[in-house]
Amino acid sequence: MAPGRSNRVTLSRDRVEFDGRTIEYEVRRSVRRRKTVEIALDQGNVRVLAPSNLPADDVRRIVCKRAAWILKRLADSLVAPSMRRFVSGDTLPYLGQNIKMVVQGADVPAPEVHLERRQLLVSVPYCIEEPERVEQIGNAIVGWFKGRASELLPMKVDLWRPRLGIEARPRILVRNQRSQWGSCSSDGTIRFSWRVMMLEPPLMEYIVVHELAHLKVMDHSAAFWKVVSDVMPDAKDRRRRLGVVGRTLPL
């Protein structure tokens, strides 16, 4: 670097919508970068390296142009979950606690899942065989998590939205999105991944607050983070913990 030339880097955050999905990204602007824009992925985080004088609208257009590539790379970068056998003694996280599975044969048409006494009871048809057994049990467990998410998340939203000054409950959907915990569309619809049910409640509530804050500020500007921190002062720490815990989920 030439004497006296600054290498000052500025950071900001933003998001774009593409094909019904939200891509959140960090923009790193540097005076040393003259023309080119580089998009990099690091452990599921999208970073855009751009010249310091490039307008945010131009950055968004570039991200939108590469959106399909970004989403594919995000999907490819996910650590594939270990093959589950779904047998008695296996454990799954639920609200931050590992619960033991009890798998038993039963006179049922399809696998059924119930939570009883801190155990996940899975009833399986007697006649089912591998590999259909593993697939059907897995689908039943995902369905159970989705059902619990559909019950609990609206209550969490109702708990936090008055604190953000949001009067009406937004439309809430539970989806199988793996690359995002949640997203907020421009029409005000909030989508959550059913996997939030595996997290401890403080981390789940951070995700709820994060998405609710987007109803007030759609980007990740300083104004957005102020909305989050005003109602959740330890949001930064929760976000850091979420990044660590999220990489360890088994499904």
Is the pLDDT higher at 81 or at 170? 170
- Give residue-wise pLDDT tens across range 188-212: 899 999 999 999 999 999 999 999 9
Looking at residues 11-31, what average pLDDT do you find?
83
Confidence of residue 2 (pLDDT cuts 50, 70, 90): very low
- Give residue-wise pLDDT tens across range 31-83: 888 788 999 887 567 889 999 889 999 999 999 999 888 887 776 655 444 45
The pTM (predicted TM-score) of the whole model is 0.69
Cβ proximity of 63 and 48 under 8 Å: yes
Interatomic CA distance for residues 118 and 91, integer angstroms = 11
Tokens read off for 92: 């799954």
Question: Apex CA 85: angle with CA 72 and CA 83, to 5°?
Answer: 25
- Walk me through the domains of the chain, giving residue ranges and CATH numbers: 9-77 (no CATH), 91-248 (3.30.2010.10)
Looking at residues 131-157, what average pLDDT do you find?
93
Sign of the CA dihedral running 74, 77, 83, 84? negative
